[in-house]
Amino acid sequence: DTGVSQNPRHKITKRGQNVTFRCDPISEHNRLYWYRQTLGQGPEFLTYFQNEAQLEKSRLLSDRFSAERPKGSFSTLEIQRTEQGDSAMYLCASSSNYRAAEAFFGQGTRLTVV
């Protein structure tokens, strides 16, 4: 297993454009998390999936943000009408139901909105 994979690693976009990130969790991991990390801060929780069901969303996840995990495997995070304040590292993590406390993180997607 190659671990949690995120693509792209870097994304530069103009303000107002839509962007989509992808996360491939460790195979057979039921739980998938998205976090956002701004410079000099720790990650902040965005949303959580149990298989294909999105069970929790942070209030940080505004209407411009949407996340999906259609088949309970990979997940996508889309940001519509990007703003400069969306510039951050977007981290994905996964864990199994049997060892839910042990989350494995991807290398993240760094978004820069210009």
Residues that bind other proteins (CB under 8 A): 4, 6, 31, 40-45, 48, 56, 91, 93, 95, 100-108, 110
User: Minimal distance in Å, beta carbon 16 to other proteins?
Assistant: 26
Nearest to 109 by CA among 5, 3, 2, 15: 5
The partner residues of 21 in beta bridges, in order of sequence, read 77
User: Minimal distance in Å, beta carbon 28 to other proteins?
Assistant: 17
User: Minimal distance in Å, beta carbon 62 to other proteins?
Assistant: 19
Tokens of 77: 């995070």
Nearer to other proteins, 18 or 56 (CB): 56
Nearer to other proteins, 66 or 107 (CB): 107
Nearer to other proteins, 37 or 66 (CB): 37
72-92 burial code (b ≥16 CB/10 A, e <16)? eebbebebeebeeebbbbbbb
User: Minimal distance in Å, beta carbon 65 to other proteins?
Assistant: 18
Nearer to other proteins, 11 or 31 (CB): 31
